[in-house]
């Protein structure tokens, strides 16, 4: 009984090591065909009502589906900033609270970035800094 339990534990340890190696080895490798473009820092006021003032500071990086699209996306940077600013100015500070708020912001900014850079495709936006004050 003790030998069977020890063998079972050994199998679980080996399987866990293999799975961990596959996950970590695949997760941190950059795809050679994908590219990225930094979005200049954006500081915007939020829709906090007439009595308060609230600001957001955002530094981000756009992940692209194709590395060849980097020059086109960099050229569209002013349009991306304008769409991001317009969206952020309409947001309330409460909408940015918590992980759900950050998730919604990410999805909305990806959609707006894809509008600005079409036919190129933004696959992800990485928040380097997101500060709400």
Say how far apart CA 22 and CA 56 lie, in whole Å. Answer: 38
DSSP H or E run through 70: helix 70-75
Calpha distance 59→7 (Å, rounded): 50
Q: Which pTM was predicted?
A: 0.72
For residue range 79-115, list pLDDT tens digits in order.
999 999 999 999 988 888 888 989 999 999 999 999 9
| Mean pLDDT value across residues 125-129 | 91
Per-residue pLDDT of 6-59, as tens digits, reads 888 888 888 877 666 666 555 445 555 678 899 889 999 888 878 788 899 999
CA gyration radius, the chain: 21
The answer regarding whether domain 35-132 maps to CATH 3.40.50.450 reads no
Sign of torsion over alpha carbons 17, 22, 23, 29: positive
Q: Could you give the CA distance from residue 39 to residue 16 in angstroms, rounded to a whole number?
A: 39
Whole-angstrom Cα distance, residue 37 to residue 116? 14
Phi/psi for 59 (5° steps) reads -120, 130
Q: Contact at 8 Å (CB) between 65 and 121?
A: yes
End-to-end, the C-alpha distance of the chain in Å comes to: 61
Q: How many CB atoms lie within 10 A of CB 57?
A: 13
The pLDDT score that the predictor gives to residue 11 is: 86
Task: Say what the pLDDT of residue 33 is.
Answer: 65
């Amino acid at each position: 009984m003790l030998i069977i339990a020890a063998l079972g534990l050994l199998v679980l340890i080996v399987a866990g090591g293999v799975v961990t190696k596959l996950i970590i080895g695949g997760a941190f490798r950059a795809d050679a065909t994908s590219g990225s473009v930094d979005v200049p820092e954006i500081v915007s006021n939020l829709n906090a009502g007439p009595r308060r003032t609230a600001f957001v500071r955002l530094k981000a990086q756009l992940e692209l589906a194709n590395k060849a699209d980097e020059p086109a996306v960099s050229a569209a940077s002013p349009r991306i900033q304008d769409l991001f600013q317009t969206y952020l100015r309409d947001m309330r500070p409460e909408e940015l609270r918590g992980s759900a708020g950050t998730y919604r912001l990410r999805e909305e900014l990806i959609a707006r970035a894809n509008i600005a850079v079409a036919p190129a495709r933004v696959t992800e936006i990485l928040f380097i800094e997101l500060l709400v004050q």
